């Protein structure tokens, strides 16, 4: 697969990801999204991903970590069920979809 199979389109503070995110383009996607995070993106919309493998999961975790290191929030929207399942069996689902903060 080529990097052209992955697309990232910014709309306000949301970056919409589409196409394939896999071993073939994960390194390029990692850089593209990190740049967007540095430029103020606070949400990643994953609804347009047609395919995502364990490399995609690694990217999501890295993007979350980058945002946390910069003390910024990062919301992941529309996580594909296949990625949720992979995160669950890898015991990292809580890192992608943290529980809401307690209110009191």
**Is this model's pTM higher than 0.95 or not?**
no
Burial classification of residue 33, based on how many CB atoms lie within 10 Å of its CB (0-12 exposed, 13-18 middle, 19 or more buried): buried
Is residue 44 within 8 Å of 33, Cβ to Cβ? yes
* pLDDT tens by residue, 59-103: 999 999 999 999 999 999 999 999 999 999 999 999 987 655 444
* Superfamily per CATH, domain 3-92: STAS domain (3.30.750.24)
Mean pLDDT value across residues 18-38:
97
Q: For 11, which DSSP code? A: E
Rounded Cα–Cα distance for residues 65 and 31 (Å) = 14
Instruction: Give the residue extent of every domain in the chain.
Output: 3-92
């Amino acid at each position: 697969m080529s990097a052209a199979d992955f697309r990232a389109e910014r709309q306000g503070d949301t970056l919409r990801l589409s196409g394939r995110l896999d071993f073939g383009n994960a390194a390029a996607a990692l850089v593209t999204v990190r740049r967007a995070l540095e430029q103020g993106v606070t949400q990643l919309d994953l609804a347009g991903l047609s395919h995502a493998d364990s490399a995609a999961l690694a990217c999501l975790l890295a993007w979350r970590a980058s945002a946390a290191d910069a003390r910024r929030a990062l919301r992941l929207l529309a996580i594909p069920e296949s990625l949720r399942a992979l995160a669950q069996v890898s015991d990292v689902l809580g890192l992608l979809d943290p529980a809401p903060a307690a209110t009191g």
